[in-house]
Amino acid sequence: MSRLETRFVADAFATNWIAPLGPNVDAFERELANYVGSEGAVAVSSGTAAIHLALRILGVGPGHKVFCSSLTFVASANPILYQGAEPVFIDSEPQSWNMSPIALEKAFIDAEKDGQLPKAVIVVHLYGQSADMDPLIEICNRYGVPIIEDAAESLGATYQGKFSGTIGKFGVYSFNGNKIITISGGGMLVSNDIGCLEQARFLSAQARDAAVHYQHSAMGYNYRLSNVLAGIGRGQLLVLNERIAARRAVFNRYYAALSNINGIEFMPEAAYGDSTRWLTAFTVNPSQCGVTRDDIIRALAEENIEARPVWKPLHLQPLFKNCKYYPHQATASVSEDLFERGICVPSGSNLTEEEQSRVVDCINRCFR
């Protein structure tokens, strides 16, 4: 917390606006939309809820397919199942670790042959870096399929001068406890289509009709955000740029300390935009350095330092074992390789240089 949140939360208590409505919610939506440059925003209970609402508004339902990045957290794809639709997973490209236009093109070619184009494509911006949107948009526009940007990990990242989450039909942000700014939970749906956002707002509040009594003509959800949490979000938004600078500084220190080790390669920063470096991630090639990713994770754990593999691709998850997957190349699955060799190390905005030195020293000892 930055302590700037307290005045907004105090105001919520002073005015007795505790419910999932109120001035902080309205202001948080307006201020977030202004920051990223979208026409509007709807605050909801989670990023997952925002994806679900986007799919519902796009008419996704049973019998439909939705293309989705494979190298991501399960929350990116679970809402596809909520709607009774079928996920089709798309591999990453090595240049950005994000969705491969080559794999996406293959998936569309097959879908057109089968006579069943997807209802939507969910493009995930991984670890604080935007996907290469221009080729992805060109492909989707050619087939008339809308894009939902899962920017849960990339609030503040840019692509060709635009913020991630503002390029497709819908953008989704998360304020979960591990995100670059947090309100403990919560999310935001953004779009330039105000009509769709009003529909999302209606559905998120149990789809209550405009009547004196409680009347419901459509199925809705309890997805609205608390006015108290929205107050925290307003305070967090004020320091977002500082958080980004802090994460990039953490990455730069790791890079300076470890990039000269043969066999370590950091997640690249694509030339088309700026990454927030939400998490610092790199790959370890044991054939070059004699050390595995798991060796490093175990060594850090012995020092009470948590590290993790990069996301396990969704097409490898038991939940999605029967779903189709399109690799970047017929003989090369980029996401599987990244999962086998990739590691995420402590990257918090409040990580001190002394704490980071402990991590670096431990990793260096693995190679000695």
Q: Residue 233: its pLDDT value, please?
A: 97
The dihedral over CA atoms of 315, 321, 322, 324, expressed in degrees to the nearest 10, equals 10
User: What is d(CA 70, CA 80) in angstroms, rounded to the nearest whole number?
Assistant: 13
Paired with 43 in beta bridges are 188
CA 344 from centre of chain? 15
Q: Is residue 368's pLDDT more than 90?
A: no
| Residues with catalytic roles | 179
Query: What is the model's pLDDT at position 245?
Result: 98
pLDDT value, residue 276:
98
What letter represents residue 228's amino acid? V
Q: What is the band of 19 on the pLDDT scale with cuts at 50, 70, 90?
A: confident
For residue 75, the cross-strand partners are none
How far is 85 from 76, CA to CA, in rounded Å? Answer: 13
What pLDDT does 1 receive? 85
Alpha helices in 43-100 (DSSP H): 47-57, 78-82
Q: What are the pLDDT digits (tens) for 276-300?
A: 999 999 999 999 999 999 999 999 9
DSSP 313: P
pLDDT digits over 336-347, tens only?
999 999 999 999
Strand order in the sheet with 264-266: 264-266, 280-284, 342-345, 308-309
pLDDT digits (tens, 9 = 90+) for 235-273: 999 999 999 999 999 999 999 999 999 999 999 999 999
Name residue 215's amino acid.
Q
103 and 90 Cβ atoms separated by less than 8 Å = yes
Token reading at 229: 């949490």
pLDDT per position as a tens digit, 131-189: 999 999 999 999 999 999 999 999 999 999 999 999 999 999 999 999 999 999 999 99
Could you say which architecture CATH assigns to the domain 241-367? Answer: Alpha-Beta Complex (3.90)
Task: Estimate to the nearest angstrom the gap between the alpha carbon of 22 and the chain centroid.
Answer: 27
**Residue type for 116, please?**
Q
Pairing mode, if any, of strands 147-150 and 120-124? parallel
Question: Which residues contact residue 14 at a Cβ distance below 8 angstroms, ignoring those fewer than 6 apart?
Answer: none
> How far is 225 from 188, CA to CA, in rounded Å?
9
Any idea how long the chain is? 368
2 pLDDT higher than 90: no
User: CA-based angle 169:40:46, to the nearest 5?
Assistant: 75
Residues in contact with 330: Cβ distance below 8 Å, sequence separation at least 6, in sequence order: none
**With contact defined as beta carbons under 8 Å apart, do 3 and 236 qualify?**
no
- Write the pLDDT tens digit of every residue in 90-140: 999 999 999 999 999 999 999 999 999 999 999 999 999 999 999 999 999
Is 338 strand, coil or helix?
helix
CATH 3.40.50.12780, applies to 5-239 = no
In Å, how far from its chain's centre is CA 88? 18
3-state SS class at 251:
helix
Give the pLDDT confidence of 50-62 residue by residue, as tens digits.
Answer: 999 999 999 999 9
- Is the pLDDT at 3 greater than 90, yes or no? no
Domain locations along the chain = 5-239, 241-367
Amino acid at 167: I
As a whole number, mean pLDDT of residues 179-200 equals 97
Q: What is the DSSP letter of 350?
A: T
| Whether 99 contacts 151, CB under 8 Å | no
